[in-house]
Amino acid sequence: MAKIGIALSGGGIKSFSQLPILATLANENINLSAIAGTSMGSVIGALFATGIPADDVIRISMELEKEINDKKILMRPSSKLLPFSKEKLVAGFVDGKDLEDALQRQLEKIGVHMLSDVTIPLVIPSVDLITGKTILFVSHPELYSKQNEDEIVISDIELAKAVRASCSFPFVIAAMEYQDMLLVDGGVTQNLPLSALKGYEVDKTIAVTMFGTDEFKDTGSLLGVASRVLDIMQREFDRENGSKADVHINIPLDKVWTFEIGKGQETIDLGAKEVQGYVQDLKNLSKEKSWWEKLWG
């Protein structure tokens, strides 16, 4: 049986469109041997890697979105920005600890605390702002082989903290201080973590991206402009990198921008519609080759 892995790209609320793809895999009994997730894709990947049912992953994701929206976590500058604060934020105005705590509360409900607690092997990329090196949070290091000698593998860390590091979107969510590093969004080096996924030596890969083609109109919003800049930087990388996967699913979410919290259900619905065209391709990944196919490659 082929070992199948999935790479989930970053994209803020757009990453909710990945949920029905994971649900489809579960419904079709297509088992994953490894998951890689960047930024918000790491939230989705981490929840699914715990082994809970897909319906519960969707429910928890929606609860997280509601808490982030109700508490305006992404719209409220941290008090650590005030001149008299002893603690200071670096490279962002939102304290990522709020996101970490929200995720941690959900993980505690299902008995997960450490990265090593997940059931499905998981890898989450982040970047050290100081050295520029890619940091890989790896749940099953005994199964993992680095693809680049400069990468740093860390396994002994809380799952919510690893996710927070990968979600620390530059200029918006502050970098996370960890040991001697300042960790920021994994999307800085690999928004689609296909390379990180291959460290688990999977046989077949699925890549999920969310780039679109529409012209940008939200020029009056700081978060909107930040979102657009990242989209432009990542689009061609995701397109080229995604083509290297055995199945590349792109969900063109032109009408939803990265920080548009409250659009979770809309993106889920769009993802559910898009994945229908890929069901047979996904099924084919787990099929055994005939002797004729093996002979001719």
Q: Give me the residue spans of the domains in the chain.
A: 4-291
71-85 mean pLDDT: 49
Residue 285 host element (H or E)? helix 279-285
- The phi and psi torsions of 64 (rounded to 5 degrees) equal -65, -45
pLDDT of residue 170: 80
pLDDT above 80 for 24: yes
Q: Which fold has domain 4-291?
A: Cytosolic phospholipase A2 catalytic domain (3.40.1090)
- Check if the beta carbon of residue 68 is closer than 8 Å to that of residue 99: yes
The backbone region for 91, taken as left when phi is positive above 0, alpha when psi lies in -120 to 50, beta otherwise, is left
pTM of the full predicted structure? 0.88
Rounded-to-integer distance, Cα 166 and Cα 62, Å: 20
Mean pLDDT of 153-182: 93
**What CA–CA distance (Å, rounded) separates 48 from 117?**
12
In this prediction, residues 259-285 reach a mean pLDDT of: 94
Residue 81 has a pLDDT of 35
Whole-number average pLDDT of the chain:
87
What is the per-residue pLDDT for 224? 63
Q: Is the pLDDT of residue 236 over 60?
A: yes
The model's pLDDT over 244-256, given as tens digits with 9 standing for 90+, comes to 999 999 998 877 7
**For residues 106-111, average pLDDT:** 96
User: Among residues of the chain, what percentage have pLDDT more than 70?
Assistant: 82
| Helix, strand or coil, per DSSP, at residue 49 | helix
Please state, in angstroms and rounded to a whole number, the distance separating the CA atoms of residues 216 and 248.
Answer: 25
Alpha carbon distance 273, 20 (integer Å): 9
Query: Above 60 in pLDDT, residue 294?
Result: no
Mean pLDDT of 46-52: 98
Question: What does the alpha-carbon distance between residue 141 and residue 153 come to, in Å, rounded to a whole number?
Answer: 8
Q: Assess whether pLDDT exceeds 70 at residue 175.
A: yes
Helix axis angle, 40-49 to 159-166, nearest 10°: 160
* pLDDT value for 71: 82
End-to-end CA distance of the chain: 16
Place of tokens 């290091």: 141
* Closest-CA residue to 255 (of 219, 225, 209, 217): 217
